Amino acid sequence: MFRPPTTRRALYHVTVFRSAVLLALALVSNPASQTFDPARRAAELEALRNKQVGDALKAGKSGEIDKIEASIASQAAQDLKRTDLAKVEAKDAWGWAQLAKTAKDYKTECRLIERYLTDHAEAFPARLDYMLACFYLQDGQNLHRMLHETKPANLSQAAELASYMGGTYHYEIRNALGAEATVKDIDLCASFLSKRDTTQPAKGEVGWGLRQLVDAKAAYLAELGRPKDAVATIDHGLKELDDSVYRKADLLASRGRYGLLGSPAPSLPPTAVHGHYTSLESLRGHVVVLDFTAHWCHACIAALPSLEKMYAELHGQGLDVLSVTTYYGFFGTDHVQDKAMPKKEEFDRMPAWMKQHGMPWAMAYVTGETLRAYGVAGIPQIMLIDKKGVIRKVDLGFSDPMFVRFREAVEAALKE
């Protein structure tokens, strides 16, 4: 089963860990305090959020998560009104910044962290949160600035920074400054890991941080038209990583994905189809966009309006779109726990889902072997195949700026 690169569940587990740490710190620093403690309140709300989100995921009610998030953010926003934030002193600003983060008021969080850093310049957790807030604000310029002002004090901090950079930060740096600058920032974060024992494979938090940087760097090298360098980066990373590193094997999929660039697309035989599709060969002479997707994938659904708009505007010029999926053993909230839904039932429910999301093109079901041939380890994976059947571009994940660049490549291919 393939999954998106960043899922709600993954973010949930990261947040659980960080919230537990914050709550512990709040309890240690303010035992039984009768005054309002914003850091403690933020930790309490995050703990409540994590419990409710965890319960929703276990119950297969992921649709409730947005409501939970909104409720927690609303409570935190009300708590922010307890004081005049403009008058909060630097020594107290970090606690209020935590509450602003819980309220998803990221501009206020950034202002408070900047105030806090005037007296605590080396505060590493505050710097990480500042950069994450910049990510949510789509402010790659300030994220880049803070990254260059941040110096991890030890290998553990360097590993945490690498994990965030390779998992989230890089997207907004790319949007603001371009792929070349992003590669340089990834290399900067990798340099902080150079103090590790290089005679042994990287494992644990260091291995995970390195794995994230390798995957992100390879993606931008591929975007820059350097697929061979992307593959070489992954090969080097695979040698450096211990086999115990989580999702190390996914790097092999990335290697295969970038190795396809500039090569003829592998065959894509369907095991079943909704709509009209027989083979990629039948579409030769057309520009084809492959959308590797799934009915449960939030990012995949987020990409559909952009795909639909592009299809409506360019189909008449020779563009075809094909969505590609496989069986997961559940649909919606049914069989989420046991993954035992019969394939026929899952297949029969897909047309209603396609209609709901306005998909006029075909949906092809394929085998795991076909997914591996295309290097699919996360979704959405969107690929561009030119009129000659050659793979020209591949994107993993979705954002509006990323899709703008993808559409530009599609339009260029249509003119050839």
Task: Delineate the domains of the chain, giving CATH numbers in brackets.
Answer: 8-257 (1.25.40.10), 272-415 (3.40.30.10)
Please say whether the beta carbons of 349 and 325 come within 8 A: no
Give CA–CA dist 258/219, Å, rounded. 8
Residues 6+ away with beta carbon under 8 Å from 21: none
**Number of other residues whose CB lies within 10 A of the CB of residue 34:** 6
| pLDDT at residue 205 in the model | 96
Q: What are phi and psi of 264, to 5 degrees?
A: -60, 140
Of the candidates 218, 396, 217, 408, which has an alpha carbon nearest to the alpha carbon of residue 290? 396
| pLDDT at residue 295 in the model | 95
Give CA–CA dist 231/208, Å, rounded. 19
How is residue 334 annotated by DSSP? B
Low-confidence spans in the chain with pLDDT less than 50: 1-14, 16-17, 20-33
How is residue 165 annotated by DSSP? I
Torsion region of 195: left, alpha or beta (phi above 0 gives left; psi -120 to 50 gives alpha): alpha
SS3 state of residue 63: helix
| pLDDT at residue 335 in the model | 87
Output Rg (C-alpha) for the chain, integer angstroms. Answer: 23
How is residue 167 annotated by DSSP? I
What is the pTM (predicted TM-score) of this model? 0.85
Q: Are strands 319-325 and 362-365 parallel, antiparallel or unpaired?
A: parallel
Convert the pLDDT of each residue in 279-328 to its tens digit: 999 999 999 999 999 999 999 999 999 999 999 999 999 999 999 999 99
What string of DSSP letters covers 190-211? HHTTTTS-TTS-B-HHHHHHHH
| pLDDT at residue 10 in the model | 46
Residues of the chain with pLDDT > 90: what percent?
A: 86
| pLDDT at residue 35 in the model | 86
Please say whether the beta carbons of 9 and 57 come within 8 A: yes
